[in-house]
Amino acid sequence: MDENLSIHRREGLGLASIMARRGVLHDDVAAALGLAKLPEGPSFVQMNGLLLLGTGPGTWLAMQDGAQPDWATDLAAAVQPLASVSDQSGGYAVFRLEGSDARRLLQRGASIDLHPEVFVPGSAATSVISHIGAIFWCVDEGPTYDIAIFRSYARSFQHWLDATMAAL
């Protein structure tokens, strides 16, 4: 693999969608999760191993490395009755792209501005990459990106990654 680009699929992640109930303040959901605040808009916060991505108004994708099988159940209990939680651990595949060519590769398929002054670490987006719905976020200035796609599209996405990487 190119020394300027590393791509691997992340394993052992717990993923869940969280949707605040009508009329519930986001600060109350944040407090129930032990966070100072939740992301407002397309960004993420991370604390105590829990990452929350803003995916829409009052909705977040939660992620935790090395999550136990009952992780989403525990998460639901923590936010009950403020929000609904749906386990997505088996529904998504998450790819990590890192290195100086990661941005170049993503720009060939994503239809958003990934310029380092615009899509900074902490930024997130829900978009389409090569006709595949994707949630992606900038982890650090490396740059490192994580991309969550529906698991059933993982093979197609990997094919796009391989073909695009070969064209770099």
The pTM (predicted TM-score) of the whole model is 0.91
Phi-psi region of 3 (alpha: psi -120 to 50; beta: other; left: phi over 0): alpha
Q: Is 92 exposed, middle or buried (0-12, 13-18, 19+ CB in 10 A)?
A: buried
Domain 91-167 annotated CATH 3.30.70.141: no
Rounded (5°) CA angle 4-102-90: 120
Where do the structural domains in the chain lie, given as residue ranges? 10-87, 91-167
Q: What is the CATH number of domain 10-87?
A: 3.30.70.1520
At residue 1, the pLDDT reads 45
> What is the bridge-based pairing of β-strands 6-10 and 92-98?
antiparallel
CA distances 48 to 65, 117, 143, Å, are 11, 28, 23
E strand or H helix at 166: helix 154-167
At residue 3, the pLDDT reads 74
At residue 48, the pLDDT reads 85
Structure tokens at 38: 């939740």
- Positions of the chain with pLDDT under 50: 1
Alpha helices in 37-151 (DSSP H): 71-79, 102-107
pLDDT in tens, 84-102: 999 999 999 999 999 999 9
